[in-house]
């Protein structure tokens, strides 16, 4: 006899085919009681699925919720991105998905393990800044990566991830984001996504043991707190319509999987794509490293991902760390 969760998933899969099926038919096909079918239907309704029912006719799936559940992400191919790797989906993560993913990585979680949350209480970006993570609006995803890359390629991890996230956004809403070096994605000048990559090293060898890639992406919603108004945006705002967040999560997983399949000879083309998307180049920037702040002009993106900047004293430097603020017509970002 099927376990309750298996029964629920199977009922959903059968109703997803568009048929109206009676409780008796579902019971017969699944080898469970009609009471078990009824419980599965009620569990699906509790998750937001609209299941119509008529006496002596049966059940029909009328509408699906905008849920970040394994069932919905699987429907869009997300579960096939990293075969055999766990996919953890949470209504709420206490702290951040990156924090949870790092704990899982320490316990030996395999390459491709993903943590996805509908909301997180301690979402953060670079330099520990909080990341606005309201429920029902965005995709907050962290991926554990153990790709076995040569050490020098990890310096490109954020660059390659940004290109992959841009691919996912373009696939879902038909618009490709611009990128602000090094980790912010913009549509119509508003930030729609941030990326935080964190590496863990083996104690003795100093080699990279694992990487955690954190992605916060604003999917739906058109209003933000006062402090983010005019700074943050969403895919719904850019596309003029809501997006299906499970499709977005699935696309992120699939594009990240594609990234890890890149051959060495493919890397320059992906860096070139990021370079073409990067709105920082040619602009006035302020580079902050600790207490030191310097203004200059962003000249180019180096092949290793560094930002080449000419500072006010004429010095040209490849910037690999620190905060880079892009100056735009109505302020700074």
Is the domain of 198 the same as that of 310?
A: no
Domain span at 22: 4-63
Question: How many structural domains are present in the chain?
Answer: 3
pLDDT tens by residue, 21-32: 999 999 999 999
Helix (H) or strand (E) holding 73: helix 70-75
Three-state SS at 255: helix
Q: Rounded CA gap, 249 and 256, in Å?
A: 11
Is the domain of 266 the same as that of 225?
A: yes
Is the domain of 235 the same as that of 97?
A: yes
Instruction: Calculate what percentage of the chain has a pLDDT beyond 90.
Output: 82
Is the domain of 77 the same as that of 215?
A: yes
pLDDT tens by residue, 213-222: 999 999 999 9
Q: Rounded CA gap, 136 and 91, in Å?
A: 9
Phi/psi of residue 167, nearest 5 degrees? -60, -45
Is the domain of 84 the same as that of 156?
A: yes
Q: Is this model's pTM higher than 0.85 or not?
A: yes
Helices (H) and strands (E) in the chain, counts: 9, 15
Is the domain of 112 the same as that of 250?
A: yes
Pick 205 or 296 by higher pLDDT.
296
Whole-number pLDDT of residue 330: 42
Is the domain of 197 the same as that of 119?
A: yes
What are the residues whose beta carbons fall under 8 Å from the beta carbon of 286, sequence distance 6 or more? 293, 294, 295, 324, 325, 327, 332
Whole-number pLDDT of residue 33: 93
Confidence class for position 321, pLDDT limits 50, 70, 90: confident
Q: Is the pLDDT of residue 332 over 60?
A: no
Is the domain of 117 the same as that of 252?
A: yes
- The answer to whether the CB of 244 falls within 8 A of the CB of 153 is no
CATH number at residue 172: 3.30.930.10
pLDDT tens by residue, 50-65: 999 998 899 999 999 9
What are the residues whose beta carbons fall under 8 Å from the beta carbon of 209, sequence distance 6 or more? 105, 146, 200, 201, 202
**Average of pLDDT values for 150-169?**
95
Is the domain of 113 the same as that of 154?
A: yes
Whole-number pLDDT of residue 152: 87
- The answer to whether the CB of 180 falls within 8 A of the CB of 66 is no
Is the domain of 48 the same as that of 184?
A: no
Is the domain of 238 the same as that of 289?
A: no
Is the domain of 197 the same as that of 158?
A: yes
Boundary (domain end) residue, out of 240, 262, 277 = 277
């Amino acid at each position: 006899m099927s376990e309750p969760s298996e029964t629920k998933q199977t009922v959903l899969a059968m109703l997803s085919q568009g048929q109206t099926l009676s409780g008796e038919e579902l019971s017969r096909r699944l080898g469970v009681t009609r009471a078990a079918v009824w419980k599965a239907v009620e569990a699906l309704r509790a998750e937001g699925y609209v299941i119509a029912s008529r006496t002596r006719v049966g059940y029909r799936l009328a509408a699906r919720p905008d849920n970040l559940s394994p069932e919905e992400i699987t429907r869009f191919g997300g579960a096939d991105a990293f075969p055999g790797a766990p996919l953890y989906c949470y209504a709420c993560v206490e702290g951040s998905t990156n924090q949870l993913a790092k704990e899982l990585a320490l316990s030996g979680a395999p390459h491709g393990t993903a943590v996805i949350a509908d909301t997180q209480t301690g979402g953060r970006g670079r330099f520990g800044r909080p990341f606005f993570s309201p429920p029902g609006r965005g995709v907050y995803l962290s991926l554990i990566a153990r790709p076995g890359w040569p050490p020098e390629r990890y310096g490109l991890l954020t660059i390659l991830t940004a290109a992959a996230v841009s691919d996912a956004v373009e696939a879902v809403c038909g618009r490709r984001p611009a990128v602000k070096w090094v980790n912010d994605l913009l549509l119509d000048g508003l930030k729609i996504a941030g990326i935080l990559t964190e590496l863990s090293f083996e104690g003795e060898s100093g080699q990279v043991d694992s990487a955690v890639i954190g992605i916060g992406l604003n999917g739906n919603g058109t209003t933000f707190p006062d402090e983010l108004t005019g700074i943050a945006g969403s895919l719904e705002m850019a596309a003029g319509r809501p997006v299906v967040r499970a499709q977005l999560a699935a696309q992120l997983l699939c594009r990240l999987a594609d990234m890890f399949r890149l051959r060495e000879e493919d890397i320059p083309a992906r860096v070139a794509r990021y370079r073409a998307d990067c709105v920082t180049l040619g602009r006035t920037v302020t580079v902050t490293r600790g207490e030191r702040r310097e203004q200059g002009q962003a000249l180019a993106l180096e092949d290793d991902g560094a930002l080449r900047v000419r500072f006010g004293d004429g010095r040209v430097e490849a910037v690999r760390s620190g905060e880079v603020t892009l100056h735009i017509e109505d302020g700074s970002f």
